[in-house]
Amino acid sequence: MNYAVSVTDTKKVEEIERSGRELLTYLKKYEAFLNNFTSIEEPPRGIVFHDLLSATKLYSTIPLPAYTSRDLIHLTPLLETWKKIYLTTTNGVKEAEDYYRNLEMVDVAEIAAHEMTHHADFFHSEFEDWEEENASDMWFEEGICFYLPRKLLMSSERFERVMEVERLLIDSYKEEYGEYSLDAFGEAGYRSGDNFDYSAAFYDYWRSTRTVTRLIDEYCEGDVQRLINCYRKWVDGGEKGRLQDFFVERFEFSEEVERGLWLHSRGTD
C-alpha cells in the first residue's frame, strides 16, 4: 500500500515512518486473511501516517487520529500516542489500566485494519455515503470492522482479554452515557453532541463490537460468515426496515435478549 507521512512536529518523521512501515506488514497479512471472507475491489488509495495534531487538527477536527476520508486512511501509528488516548478512558477499571499500559503494536494494527475493512465488498455502499445516509445501521459495520481484525490478527488470549476489558468499561460508563439503542450510534460523543472525551467516542464502538461478537458466538455458532450472509440477505432484500429489526426477527430474539444486545427500539429505555 502506498503511504505518506504528515507531521506538525518534524522531529517525529523517522519514528512515524518506522512505525507506519511496521503497521504495513500487519495490513499485508490482514488483507490476505480478509480474502477468505470478502474481496476489496476498490481498496484505499493509500494511508497517511500522522502525528496526533496533524491527524486531528490539520486534516480533521475529530478527536480520534484514525479515520478514512476520500479513499485515504489517516492514522497515527505511534504506540505511545494510543496508550495515552486509551488510558484516559479507564475510569478506575484496573483491568483496562493494565491492558492499555501494556498496549502492543497489534492493537494499533487492529485500528488500521479496521479502516481497511470499511472498504470490504460485502458492505452495501461506499462507507462515507453510507455513514451519512444510513447512520442507524452504523453499529453493525463498525462492530464487524473491529471484530475481524481482532480475530485475524490477535491471539485468542488477547482477543478474549480486550473483549473483557471493554465489557468492564461498558459497565463502568453505563450510568454516565446510558443504554440507548445502537441505532443511535455516537449519541454519547462528538458525532451527536459536543462531548469530545475519548470514552464518549469509544463507548458505542465498544458496545457495537460486543454485540457483533455475541451475535456470532451465541447465534451463529462462532461463524462470522453466517452473520455476514444474514446481513447480505437484508441488503439484497432492499434494506427494508432497520437492520437490527431484521436480526431480531431472523434470530427470534425475546424482548429481554433484544434489550440486552442494545437492539431495542428507540424510546423504550
| Confidence (pLDDT) at 130 | 45
Q: Which residues contact 182 (CB under 8 A, 6 or more apart)?
A: 139, 204, 207, 208, 211, 244, 262, 263
Predicted confidence band at 42 (pLDDT cuts at 50, 70, 90)? Answer: confident
User: Angle between the 94-101 and 79-87 helix axes, to the nearest 10 degrees?
Assistant: 170
| Confidence (pLDDT) at 77 | 98
| Confidence (pLDDT) at 267 | 47
**Strand partners for 50:** 6
Instruction: Say what the alpha-carbon torsion angle 203, 123, 211, 72 is, to the nearest 10 degrees.
Output: -30
Question: Which helix or strand (DSSP H or E) is residue 46 part of?
Answer: strand 46-50
pLDDT, tens digit, for every residue of 63-89?
999 999 888 999 999 999 999 999 999
For residues 158 and 151, give the distance between their C-alpha atoms in angstroms, rounded to a whole number: 10
Predicted confidence band at 262 (pLDDT cuts at 50, 70, 90)? Answer: very high
C-alpha cell at 138: 452504523
Q: Residues 181-192: what's their mean pLDDT?
A: 87
Predicted confidence band at 266 (pLDDT cuts at 50, 70, 90)? Answer: low
Can you name the CATH fold of 3-260?
Neutral Protease; domain 2 (1.10.390)
Predicted confidence band at 194 (pLDDT cuts at 50, 70, 90)? Answer: confident
| Confidence (pLDDT) at 255 | 93
| Confidence (pLDDT) at 125 | 62
pLDDT, tens digit, for every residue of 218-255?
999 999 999 999 999 998 887 788 999 999 999 999 99
| Confidence (pLDDT) at 185 | 93
pLDDT, tens digit, for every residue of 172-185?
999 999 999 999 99
Q: Residues 141-166: what's their mean pLDDT?
A: 97
| Confidence (pLDDT) at 265 | 65
For residues 107 and 184, give the distance between their C-alpha atoms in angstroms, rounded to a whole number: 26
Average pLDDT of the residues of the chain: 92
Give Cα separations from 49 to 14, 67, 104, 219 (angstroms).
Answer: 11, 11, 18, 38
For residues 34 and 28, give the distance between their C-alpha atoms in angstroms, rounded to a whole number: 10
C-alpha cell at 136: 442507524
| Confidence (pLDDT) at 234 | 92
Q: Are strands 66-69 and 3-6 parallel, antiparallel or unpaired?
A: unpaired
| Confidence (pLDDT) at 135 | 65
